Structures are given as structure tokens and as C-alpha cells.
């Protein structure tokens, strides 16, 4: 069974460990062209180029992300509450139409992985763009909620509505989004300080009486 699986992935050429030791150059030349299987007793090893192994690992990783992303997006469309702690919790920022569009774009991009050498990179970029959009949506909602005028009256109906909006916006934020938002705020603060520097006396300088 293992030999059959190896044949389907690495071709039908099996090379013994003895052959590898006796003719390493010939075996490596073969491995440069395509992966081969090295056998030793009942053990089997894969010999292939490093760049091909990198591609295989990336393909496996991206496939897992795609499957999980589509699953989470479908569950969110059905009204299931996705935890903000979930790595893909950012999909909660989108409504049903946007989720349907996300699913369609990801599925279409995924179908090209066998025919387009850049498909995995394009798929990764597409998912990154959707995630950035979610962060932007949540950031705007949160900023808008905080910028609303809140009456001093604690029993005011508008205050309760605004507080509800703030809570809803914050609930959609994942830990990663909070981190990125904090970094953006820090950069914005540094930019404001650089544009409007405030002169402060040295720590050791005493105030004039």
C-alpha cells in the first residue's frame, strides 16, 4: 500500500539505499528531474528538490486555510456565532452578500492551482485583501461608534444605542485586529508628534523661580 502511494506521488522508480550509496550522482540527477523513492528494507524515503518540497508545504498549508475559511464563512452566513478568538473570526465583519462574494472568489482562485504557477501566491494575496477589508470595516465602525456624541444623561436612549454599537463593533475585533489597530494608532501618534513637536525642558534643568 505504501509503495502504491509512493508511486502515485513520486513516480514508479524505487531506488535502494545501496544504489544511492554506490551511485549518488546518478540518483541525485534523477531526483533533480522528479522526486524518487529511496527504499531500505521496509522503510521508504522521499528524495526531491528543496524548492518542490517548499511548494508542497505551501500547497498543503494554503489548502487547509482555504477549506477552513470557506467553512467559517458558510457557518457565519447561517448565523452561527464565530468566536473572536478564532483565527478567521474576522469574517464576522461581512454581511451575507459579502460572505457569498468572498466564498466565490476564494473557490474560483483555488480552482486555478493546477493550471497557474502563480495561483497559490494569488490566492494568498486574495485572502490577505479580504482580511484587510475586515480590519478596515471594524476600525471604521469602532471609530464611528466612539465619535458619536454621547449625552451626559446616563438614561438617555441615544446613549444606550451608541454603547450597543460600540459593544458590537468591539465584539467583531479579533486579537490580531486589536494588535494591528494599536500599531496603526501608535504610528499615527508618532506622526502627529513629529508634525507638531512640543518643546520640553531637559529633565535636569530646574524651573526658574
In a domain, 164, yes or no: yes
57/16 same-domain check: no
Quick: pLDDT tens for 116-130.
888 899 999 999 999
Residue 71 has what pLDDT?
Answer: 94
The Cα–Cα gap between 182 and 187 comes to 9
The answer to whether the beta carbons of residues 116 and 79 sit under 8 Å apart is no
145 Cβ neighbours under 8 A, 6+ residues apart: 162, 165, 166, 169
Percent of the chain whose pLDDT exceeds 70: 61
- With H, G, I as helix, E, B as strand and everything else as coil, classify residue 46: strand
In a domain, 203, yes or no: no
89/118 same-domain check: yes
140/175 same-domain check: yes
The total of structural domains in the chain comes to 2
Give strand pairing partners of 39.
16, 44
Residue 207 has what pLDDT?
Answer: 45
40/66 same-domain check: no
Quick: pLDDT tens for 61-90.
999 999 999 999 999 999 898 887 888 989
Quick: pLDDT tens for 170-198.
666 666 666 666 655 555 544 554 455 44
Q: Which domain holds residue 180?
A: 53-191
In a domain, 68, yes or no: yes
Q: In this predicted model, which residue has the larger pLDDT, 138 or 172?
A: 138
Q: In this predicted model, which residue has the larger pLDDT, 131 or 207?
A: 131
Top mean pLDDT of 38-52, 67-81, 133-147 is at 67-81
Buried b / exposed e over 53-62, threshold 16 CB at 10 Å, is eeeeeeeeeb
pLDDT at position 4 over 80:
no
67/168 same-domain check: yes
The answer to whether the beta carbons of residues 36 and 16 sit under 8 Å apart is no
pLDDT at position 50 over 80:
yes
pLDDT at position 13 over 60:
yes
In a domain, 200, yes or no: no
15/114 same-domain check: no
Residue 114 has what pLDDT?
Answer: 84
CATH number of the structural domain spanning residue 18: 3.40.1620
61/36 same-domain check: no
The long-range contacts involving 183-189, CB below 8 angstroms and separated by at least 24 positions, are 184/139
pLDDT at position 162 over 60:
no
In a domain, 101, yes or no: yes
In a domain, 43, yes or no: yes
pLDDT at position 105 over 90:
yes
C-alpha separations of 17 from 26, 49, 143 in Å: 13, 18, 64
Q: Can you give the pTM of this predicted structure?
A: 0.57
Q: Which of 31, 48, 65 is the last residue of a domain?
A: 48
Amino acid at each position: 500500500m505504501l509503495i502504491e502511494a509512493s508511486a502515485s506521488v513520486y513516480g514508479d522508480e524505487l531506488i535502494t539505499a545501496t544504489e544511492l550509496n554506490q551511485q549518488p550522482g546518478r540518483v541525485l540527477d534523477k531526483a533533480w528531474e522528479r522526486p524518487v523513492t529511496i527504499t531500505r528494507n521496509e522503510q521508504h524515503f522521499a528524495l526531491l528538490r528543496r524548492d518542490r518540497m517548499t511548494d508542497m508545504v505551501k500547497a498543503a498549508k494554503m489548502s487547509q486555510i482555504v477549506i477552513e475559511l470557506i467553512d467559517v464563512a458558510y457557518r457565519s452566513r447561517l448565523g452561527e456565532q464565530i468566536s473572536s478568538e478564532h483565527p478567521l473570526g474576522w469574517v464576522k465583519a461581512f454581511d451575507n452578500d459579502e460572505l457569498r462574494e468572498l466564498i466565490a472568489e476564494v473557490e474560483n482562485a483555488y480552482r486555478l492551482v493546477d493550471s497557474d504557477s502563480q495561483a497559490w501566491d494569488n490566492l494568498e494575496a486574495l485572502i490577505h485583501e479580504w482580511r484587510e477589508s475586515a480590519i478596515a470595516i471594524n476600525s471604521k465602525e469602532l471609530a464611528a461608534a466612539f465619535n458619536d456624541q454621547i449625552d451626559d444623561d446616563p438614561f438617555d436612549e441615544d446613549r444606550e444605542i451608541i454603547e450597543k454599537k460600540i459593544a458590537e463593533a468591539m465584539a467583531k475585533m479579533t486579537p490580531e485586529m486589536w494588535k494591528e489597530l494599536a500599531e496603526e494608532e501608535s504610528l499615527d501618534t508618532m506622526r502627529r508628534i513629529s508634525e507638531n513637536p512640543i518643546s520640553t525642558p531637559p529633565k535636569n534643568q530646574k524651573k526658574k523661580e
